[in-house]
Structure 1
Amino acid sequence: MLSGIHRFPLQERVIFGKAAQHALMDEAERLGCSRLFLLCSPSMRDSTFLDKVMDALGSRLAGAHFDMRPHSPRDSVIGAAKAARAASADLLVAIGGGSVIDACKLTQQVLWLALDREEDLDRLRKGMSPDGSADILNASVPITRSIAVPTTFSGAEFTSFAGVTESASGVKEVFDHPLQIPRSVILDPEATLGVPHWVLMSTGIRAVDHCVETFCSPKSTPYADAMAVQAFRILLGTLPKLQADPLNLDFRLDAQLGMWLSILGPAAGVPVGASHGIGRVLGGAFGVPHGRTSCMLLASVLRWNSKVNAERQTELCGMIGRPDHGLAEVVEDLVKSLGEPISLRQAGIEESKLRNLAERSVASGFLENNPRTIHGADDVMEILRLSW
C-alpha cells in the first residue's frame, strides 16, 4: 500500500508576470513592512533591473548588501545578517540565483536567534538540535521574513531548506526551518535579463534535474509525479526556444513557471538522488556552478540507476512524449542543444580528483536516497567515470 507524508511549505503566494518593483511595493504594503533590505550578488551592483526596484521602493528601502557569493558560504550569511540588523530591516528581499536565495533563508535564522559568528551555525544544521529555533513558529513578536525575486531557474525560492557552504572545509551543509521559505516569490522575467545566458541554460537543466530525480525517487508521490511531468514538458519545449531567442520574455516566463513546478516535489518532502547529492559536493568543494553539476551528472546517474529503475525511466519518457528514447539520452541531447558541458572533464575536473570527489560525496550523507543503493566510494566512482 502506498504511504507517505506530503508537506505543505509555509509560503503564501507566487506572483508571476508582473513587474517586480510594483509587486514588491504591493507586498510591502500587504505585510505592513517599511524597511526592506536587499540581498544581492556582487554582479547586481550595476543592474538596471535593480535600479528600477530601488527607485520604486523609495523611502521603504533600508539598504542593500552585495556580498552574497556563489555556493552561499557561511561568512556571506553572517555578513548579510549583520548588515540587515544594522539597517533595522523588517523584510529581507533576495534578488539573485540559488546561492543568494539560500543564503538569505539562513540569514533569517541568524537574525531570529541573534547569532553573529560562523561557528554559531553548527547547531542549526539539518539533523542536529535546533536549540529551540523551532519555537520561532510560536513567537509572540514579529520576526524578519523574506521575499525572493529569482534571476535564474534554480528553484531555491520554493523550498524551506538551504545549502550553505562551511567556509574552511568547502563542505555544503543543509539548513532547514519551516519559516526559512520566502513568504512570497515574484517571478518577473525581466529579472533574468542581466544574467549570463549560460547561467540561465544550466539552471534550466537544474530544474530538469528536479523533475527527473523527483519522478525517479523511490519515495515519490502522485502529487510530485504530476508536478514533475508537467514541469519537464514545459522545460523540454521552452529551453531550446529560449536558446534560439534569448531575449524573449514569454519564453523566460514559461521557463520560470516550469522551474516552479519542478521543485514542488522536493519542497513537499520527496528526496532526490545522486545527481543532486554529488552535485552539492562538486559545487561546494570544487567550485562548479550548481546548474552545471546537473548538466554533467544527471545523464550518468540515470544510466547507473537504470539497473534498478529502467521501467520508471521509460514511463517518464512516455509521459513527456519521447517513448522511443532513453531518459539519459533525452537529458543529454537537451544539455547539448543548450551548449552546456556534458562531462566533468569539460569543467576542468582532473581524473586524479575523482576519488576525492567520490569519498567526499559518500561522507556528505547526500546519497542515501538514490534509487540504486550506493554502498561506497567505488559505486560513486562508477558514476563519475561515466560523467568524466
Structure 2
Amino acid sequence: MHTSNWHYPTSIRVGAGRVRELADACRSAGIQRPLLITDRDLGSQPMIQQALDDCRRELGQCALFDQVKGNPTGSNVAAGLERYKAGQHDGVIAFGGGSALDAAKAVALMSGQHRPLWDFEDIGTNHLRADPDGIAPLIAVPTTAGTGSEVGRAAVITDEAARVKRTILHLRMMPKVAILDARLTLSLPPALTAATGMDALTHCIEAWCSPVWHPMAEAVAVKGLQMIRQHLPRVVRDGQDLEAREQMLVASSLGAAAFQRGLGGVHAIAQSLGALYDHHHGLLNAIVLPYVLVANQAALHQPMNELAHDLRLPKPGFNGVMDWLLQLRHDCGIPHTLAALGIDERDAELIGRMAFKDGCSHTNPVRHCAEGYQRIFSHAVQGM
C-alpha cells in the first residue's frame, strides 16, 4: 500500500496565435495590472512589445521587467520584486524560456511574503512558511520547449553568495494559465532548440527512472518521450516546422508534469555545474545524461526494458535506450563531453559534494555517495 499526494497542471491554452489571448488569460486569473517578466535578450523582441501593447490596450496597463539572466539569481528576483511593488501590480506574466519563467514565479511568490527567499527552499516543510494569500497570480507564456516551468510549482534560482542553485517550491506558484503558442518558438536557433529539447527529454527519462510511486507521472513521462523521439529531430532540422514546434511545447509541459515523480543524478550534477559555471541548463543535462544512466544501470533493468518497448526502439533494454540517446545527441549536435564546454576536473570533489546534497539526488534510482558523483562527473569530462 502507498500514501501519496499528487498535483497536476494548470489550465493550458494550446495553439498557434493564442498569445493574443494573453489579456483575457490575465482577466481570468483576476489580474488587471500585470508586470511582464522576461530575460534580457527577449525584452527587446517584437513579440514582447506586441504582448505589452495587447495588454495595455485591453487592461489599461502592463509594465516590463527584462533583467533576468540565463541562470536566474536571487538578485534578479529581488530587482523584479522591487519593480513589482513600485508599480503596484496585482499579478505576473512570465514570458520567455525557463529562466524567465522561474524568476517570474519567484517574484510572484515573494510579492506578499515577509521572509527572505531562501526560507522557502524545497527542504522539508519550508513551503508552509509562505503566506499563500501573499502569492500573486501568474500567467506563463513559454518561448522554448524545455523546462516546462509553465506547469510547475517550483523555481530554480541561483544563490550567488553560496554558489549553489536552490529550488523554491509552493503549490500557489503554479501558473493559473499557460499559453503554448508555437509561433513564439520559431526563431529559436538549432543549438538552443536542441538543448531545450534535451532538457525536456531529461525530465521525462529521469522521472521514468525515479523509484517514487506515481503511475500518472510514469504514463506522462512515456508519452513525452514518444513525442520527443518523433519531433525533436524534425524541429532541429527545420525550425519552421510549426507542427513539430507545437508538439515539442506540449512534450515539454509533459516533462514538467512527469517530474512530480522526482528527478535524479543528471539534474543534481547539472544544477551544481550551472551554479558554478553558468552554462545552459539543458545543454548540461544533455551531456551528463548518458553518464548518469550508466552509473544507474544496475537499478534500471526493468524500466529500460519497458521503455525500449514503449518507444518501439530497434534494440531492447538498456542498450537499446542508450543507443537511441547517443544517436539523438549526435544528430542534435550535442557535445559528448563537458570538456567541450571548457569544464575540467579541478572542481571535481566540490561538484561531487554539491550533487550529493542536491535535492534531485534523493530520487535517483541509486543513492550515490559524493565520491560516486565525483566519478560520474569525471567520466562526463573525459568521455566514456
CA RMSD, aligned part only?
2.0
Alpha-carbon distance, 1:114 to partner: 5.1
The one-letter amino acid of 1:381's match is Q
Equivalent residue, structure 2, for 1:283? 274
Alpha-carbon distance, 1:135 to partner: 4.2
Equivalent residue, structure 2, for 1:7? 6
User: What aligned pairs does 1:304-319 form with structure 2 within 5 A after superposition?
Assistant: 304-319=295-310
The one-letter amino acid of 1:360's match is M
User: 2:144–2:185: 8 Å Cα contact kept in structure 1?
Assistant: yes
Equivalent of residue 326 in structure 2, options 329, 332, 351? 332
Equivalent of residue 148 in structure 1, options 128, 140, 159? 140
1:271 has 2:270 as partner: no
Three-state SS of the structure 1 residue aligned to 2:244 is helix
In structure 2, distance between residues paired with 1:216 and 1:323: 20
The one-letter amino acid of 2:4's match is I
In structure 2, distance between residues paired with 1:271 and 1:314: 20
Q: Cα deviation per residue 1:222-265 (whole Å; 9 max; x = unaligned)?
A: 21121111110110110111111111211100111111112212
Q: 1:4 to 1:309 in 2, by over 3 A?
A: farther
Equivalent residue, structure 1, for 2:205? 212
Three-state SS of the structure 1 residue aligned to 2:140 is strand
User: What aligned pairs does 1:13-28 form with structure 2 within 5 A after superposition?
Assistant: 13-28=11-26
User: What aligned pairs does 1:150-169 form with structure 2 within 5 A after superposition?
Assistant: 150-153=142-145, 154-169=147-162
Alpha-carbon distance, 1:352 to partner: 2.5
Q: Cα deviation per residue 1:339-382 (whole Å; 9 max; x = unaligned)?
A: 1222111111113232332222223343122111212x221123
Q: Cα deviation per residue 1:318-351 (whole Å; 9 max; x = unaligned)?
A: 1101151522222121111111222111111113
Q: 1:32 to 1:159 in 2, by over 3 A?
A: closer
Identity %: 24
The one-letter amino acid of 1:369's match is T
In structure 1, distance between residues paired with 2:296 and 2:255: 20
Q: 1:88 to 1:46 in 2, by over 3 A?
A: same
In structure 2, distance between residues paired with 1:359 and 1:32: 44
In structure 1, distance between residues paired with 2:346 and 2:27: 55
User: 1:274–1:367: 8 Å Cα contact kept in structure 2?
Assistant: yes
Equivalent of residue 357 in structure 1, options 348, 351, 358? 351
TM-score by length of 1: 0.91
User: What aligned pairs does 1:337-352 form with structure 2 within 5 A after superposition?
Assistant: 337-352=331-346
In structure 2, distance between residues paired with 1:171 and 1:143: 24
In structure 1, distance between residues paired with 2:302 and 2:126: 40
Equivalent of residue 122 in structure 1, options 113, 118, 121? 118
Structure 2's unaligned 5+ residue stretches are: none
User: What aligned pairs does 1:170-319 form with structure 2 within 5 A after superposition?
Assistant: 170-266=163-259, 269-319=260-310
Q: Cα deviation per residue 1:41-76 (whole Å; 9 max; x = unaligned)?
A: 010132121122122122433310011112210000
The count of corresponding residues between Structure 1 and Structure 2 is 375
Equivalent residue, structure 2, for 1:321? 312
Q: 1:213 to 1:131 in 2, by over 3 A?
A: closer
The one-letter amino acid of 1:67's match is Q
Which deviates more, 272-281 or 352-361?
Answer: 352-361
TM-score by length of 2: 0.92
1:383 has 2:382 as partner: no
Alpha-carbon distance, 1:128 to partner: 6.0
Alpha-carbon distance, 1:292 to partner: 0.6
Equivalent residue, structure 2, for 1:80? 80
In structure 1, distance between residues paired with 2:195 and 2:96: 15
Q: Cα deviation per residue 1:193-217 (whole Å; 9 max; x = unaligned)?
A: 3433322211111111111111111
Equivalent of residue 51 in structure 1, options 49, 52, 56? 49
In structure 2, distance between residues paired with 1:303 and 1:147: 39
Three-state SS of the structure 1 residue aligned to 2:178 is strand
Three-state SS of the structure 2 residue aligned to 1:94 is strand
User: 2:139–2:175: 8 Å Cα contact kept in structure 1?
Assistant: yes
Alpha-carbon distance, 1:18 to partner: 4.2
In structure 2, distance between residues paired with 1:131 and 1:193: 37
User: 2:287–2:335: 8 Å Cα contact kept in structure 1?
Assistant: yes
Alpha-carbon distance, 1:289 to partner: 0.8
Which deviates more, 359-368 or 288-297?
Answer: 359-368
Q: Cα deviation per residue 1:129-150 (whole Å; 9 max; x = unaligned)?
A: 64964442xx4xx852111101
Which deviates more, 164-173 or 345-354?
Answer: 345-354
The one-letter amino acid of 1:89's match is H
